[in-house]
Amino acid sequence: DTEVTQTPKHLVMGMTNKKSLKCEQHMGHRAMYWYKQKAKKPPELMFVYSYEKLSINESVPSRFSPECPNSSLLNLHLHALQPEDSALYLCASSQDPLSAYEQYFGPGTRLTVT
């Protein structure tokens, strides 16, 4: 199974809501990533988890809060977002955080903040 799954596929939320994005992989990968992608742009790295520990936070606003409950799951908790946070949020995983193995991407969650 070489699949990364993400739920939900689409999410519309108001600026005062709290919601969560979920990502799951069962490939035994020990690195997991959150990216934000705006239209016609490359993905921008937000967070990296290595062996379930947050290893990279690319100066992401605190209204985004990542969580890695176990080696297969990655969550992104959202609170008090702004309209400019509307984007495609991609999750990815790779085999080993210490080696440049390829990343496997999920299909993404299309987030709209109203």
Partner 1 sequence: AQSVTQLDSHVSVSEGTPVLLRCNYSSSYSPSLFWYVQHPNKGLQLLLKYTSAATLVKGINGFEAEFKKSETSFHLTKPSAHMSDAAEYFCVVSSNTGNQFYFGTGTSLTVIP
Stretch that binds partner 1, among 12-20, 62-70, 73-81, 100-108 (CB under 8 A): 100-108
Q: According to the binding rule CB under 8 A, does residue 55 interact with partner 1?
A: yes
β-partners of residue 7 are 22
Distances (CA, A) of 29 to 42, 54, 101: 23, 15, 10
CB of 84 to partner 1, least distance (A): 20
CB 13 within 8 A of CB 113: yes
53 makes contact with partner 1 (CB under 8 A)? no
What span, in angstroms and rounded, lies between the C-alpha atoms of 51 and 64? 20
Examine residue 28 and tell whether it contacts partner 1 (CB under 8 A). no
- Closer residue to partner 1 in complex, CB, 30/79: 30
Residue selected from 4, 68, 76, 111 as contacting partner 1 according to rule CB under 8 A? 4
Distance of alpha carbon 14 from alpha carbon 114, whole angstroms: 5
